[in-house]
Structure 1
């Protein structure tokens, strides 16, 4: 582990004891926004498992990075491993996350394969050729973020939630879905600019690299979200040797996800 790591830079939450799941949120999210949307139901996560959650660098109540490099996915993966190490998570542990958190988990598993016994990948982000087609888009958002800041970007996104979430999920959570933007509102212009600049450089590991990840993997995808296409989830499922894929097309399916995650983690207990 690197000597430069400082746990005080991260806002973390630890509950339960035993087999550990280290969980990472998505881009421009945080623990607060995850709790607001009402999909994760972390309060129902089994107490006989340990759940470590944290706000990624530059997000929520965690400190910002010094440069764009701090937001590159392999570096976020090192943060995840450092946090697991700091809290003495029993090895091997389970890693998981949503969108950016998926990428973080995959790169962490590649960096320290002996430390990881399972992966939970929720709504994997657009990747490979499809992501390359969005590079200009990410640079435009980076420029807009530098001008608008977190509050302005949140207001813009509130008008286009259908670009961020499936319509059926928005309809089911009308009372809480705007809460997912709460974490974005307080984010600084420079941070957002660096985050989206990094997004233009980021990509998932190659399929050849993915084929070397031999641990059980739970993949959760949903239909109707262009930023998290089912095509990415299916490609991951094909590339990862020991993966299971669930694709949601309605809210009832997503309501089952907390139980699927809990059962998956319980099934990996030593």
Structure 2
């Protein structure tokens, strides 16, 4: 039997009013880490639109989950839809996210296509055959997380930021890029183990499933990131019937992303 949805489990943030964009962060991130890195510039998001952000289950200030299944992307998608419903986001609404949040949005759009009128997919995660090749890696990280915990993983990742972000973004944000690890530091061993075990099971929807998503979609990708390869973004662009792809190779390109997201959302008719 499915447990009733409890909004009190989630740390949420709401600003503006009008048409809604529900936004989800990436794996081991949170709202705090998004704000720290300074790429998103949510303070510039139009006030005539409603922005609903939240820490996913097990992340940031939200409660942890009971099982690995709760961290599957299809489960996170149901959380996203439940949050939209709780805050009475006017239907149809927009969904978006970065990496894990991108996957969450796609599964939510497949689950409730009538509720969604647009998607913003930022740095889609490695998928399909390329993801299958990383299953052992996710299991190794799950095992390491059981030993090191959030602080230990954060220290390890701080020495290998080039595995998490393109080098040109690290160079441009030397003073703030470590802030993206803030959310990871407080995460518990058991939670991280479950998260990375789920990561080994997760994958994006099939290309046949993606072909049924008809809504306008903005895909934002960047060069030089193994975990979020441009090849995934290009495959999504090809599979989604009504999508536009922008690929960044410089910080100037990424600096345009907040405006691109705002223009995209404003351009969708109520």
Gaps of 5+ in 1: none
1:261 is matched with which residue?
A: 261
1:65 is matched with which residue?
A: 65
1:137 is matched with which residue?
A: 137
Task: Say which SS state the counterpart of residue 245 (structure 1) adopts.
Answer: strand
CA distance in 2, matches of 1:166, 1:3: 40
How many equivalent pairs are there?
269
Deviations 1:42-83 (A, max 9, x none): 000000000000000000000000010000000000000000
Task: Say which SS state the counterpart of residue 114 (structure 2) adopts.
Answer: helix
Q: CA RMSD in A?
A: 0.6
Aligned: 1:26 with 2:26: yes
Task: Say which SS state the counterpart of residue 97 (structure 2) adopts.
Answer: strand
TM-score w.r.t. the length of structure 1 is 0.99
CA distance in 2, matches of 1:241, 1:69: 30
CA distance in 2, matches of 1:208, 1:147: 39
Query: Contact (CA 8 Å) 1:19, 1:269: kept in 2 or not?
Result: no
Deviations 1:103-129 (A, max 9, x none): 000000000000000000000000000
CA distance in 2, matches of 1:71, 1:48: 33
Deviating beyond 2 angstroms after TM superposition, the runs of 4 or more aligned structure 1 residues are none
Task: Say which SS state the counterpart of residue 183 (structure 1) adopts.
Answer: helix
Query: Contact (CA 8 Å) 1:24, 1:56: kept in 2 or not?
Result: yes
TM-score w.r.t. the length of structure 2 is 0.99
- What is the correspondence of 1:53-92 to structure 2 with a 5 Å cutoff? 53-92=53-92
